[in-house]
Copies of this chain bind each other. A is one copy, B any other.
Amino acid sequence: MTATMSDVARLAGVSIKTVSNVVNDYPHISVGTRERVLAAIAELGYVPNSTARSLRSGRSGVIGLAVPELSLAYFAQLADEVIRAARAQNMVVLVEQTGGERERELEVLRGPRLQLTDGLLFSPLGLGNGDAEVARVPYPLVLLGERIFDPGIDHVTMQNVEAAEAAVEHLLGLGRRRIVALGAHQGEVIGSAGLRLTGYRNALASAGIGVDEALVVEEGLWHRRNGADAMRRLLATGVQFDAVFALNDELALGALRVIQESGLRVPDDVAVIGFDDVDEGNYSIPSLSTVDPGRQEIAETAVDLLLTRIEGRAGPEKQQLRTGYRIVPRESTGV
């Protein structure tokens, strides 16, 4: 069925090495030879076998991307950007879902499923800082996000603390003082939830406002459903508030819906800001203010860093890269 290099060589009347040279654009080949080889390639419809090439070169041209799940808009858009960035570098992307569960994340790191990739972009959720050892794997690895923060591992992260601070300052700037933090993870310090909550506390502290723990609402998962549930629980307590900082957009969108069902007006009674800038926020009612965490920049930076490692360029010092962010004011905070 498929023609091999020797088939081409035989037809062109040259050696297999010459074919290889032509295929790999080796510079010193006579024009005549090259043409005969190209003709033979065309005639046989020859396509290099990338598996054999991988075995030989030790590289597959594939990078792995492990995320909690693509159903979460943030990760879908991240995957989109990663695939684009990889494509620009002639790489292809194998996507794994971990469900955010620690066990599955460990499996991805150690298991055989990503064996034929050249390196891994990994966005952990279940793993914590104590798992730094586990993340010292014998292949190129770049972590996305701050669940595991270890100077011995490459990282690309958004500026969670600073960006969250800016989001809360945006609410404070509107005169809001009873600001809910939605989606907190009990006791977490490192990780998106912990860091964004730190930003929340910092902003309130800078404004000389004490944190009312009744306004810090826990929620493990960050789907719309969870935002809705958490908001229902909060409303049921009867506690008063005039703004919500949701730790991501999906939580915000779920909450937005429940707030308005309860008869409260957004932004008049309650201003709402999310985090992530998923496209949906442009079309919700009201449109959702949010933080643009620089997803595209994260993807491009991470792919570049991973390729640097794969190709063995750059020194051994691990990098901790941080991308920019930007507050995006929309109707839900009164614009």
Chain B residues whose CB sits within 8 angstroms of the CB of A282 once the complex forms: 224-225
Chain B residues whose CB sits within 8 angstroms of the CB of A242 once the complex forms: none
> Among the listed B77, B116, B283, which residue makes an inter-chain contact with A50, where contact means beta carbons less than 8 Å apart?
B116
- Some 18 contacts from A to B, beta carbons below 8 A apart, are A49-B55, A50-B112, A50-B116, A51-B60, A51-B115, A52-B55, A54-B55, A62-B94, A69-B80, A70-B76, A70-B77, A70-B79, A71-B76, A76-B76, A80-B97, A83-B96, A253-B283, A284-B285
Complex CA–CA separation, A287 to B261 (angstroms): 11
In the assembled complex, A228 has its CB within 8 A of some CB on chain B: yes
Complex CA–CA separation, A228 to B287 (angstroms): 13
In the assembled complex, A133 has its CB within 8 A of some CB on chain B: no
Is A257 touching B285 in the complex (CB atoms < 8 A)? yes
Chain B residues whose CB sits within 8 angstroms of the CB of A60 once the complex forms: 51, 116
Complex CA–CA separation, A92 to B92 (angstroms): 13
Complex CA–CA separation, A257 to B48 (angstroms): 51
Is A138 touching B79 in the complex (CB atoms < 8 A)? no
Q: Mark A1-26, 1 if CB is under 8 A from B, else 0.
A: 11000000000000000000000000
Interface centre among A70, A83, A116 (most CB of B within 10 A): A70
Is A80 touching B84 in the complex (CB atoms < 8 A)? no
In the assembled complex, A73 has its CB within 8 A of some CB on chain B: yes
> Among the listed B71, B87, B287, which residue makes an inter-chain contact with A279, where contact means beta carbons less than 8 Å apart?
B71
In the assembled complex, A280 has its CB within 8 A of some CB on chain B: yes
Is A280 touching B279 in the complex (CB atoms < 8 A)? no
Expressed in whole angstroms, the minimum distance between the Cβ of A154 and any Cβ of chain B is 19
Complex CA–CA separation, A260 to B51 (angstroms): 55
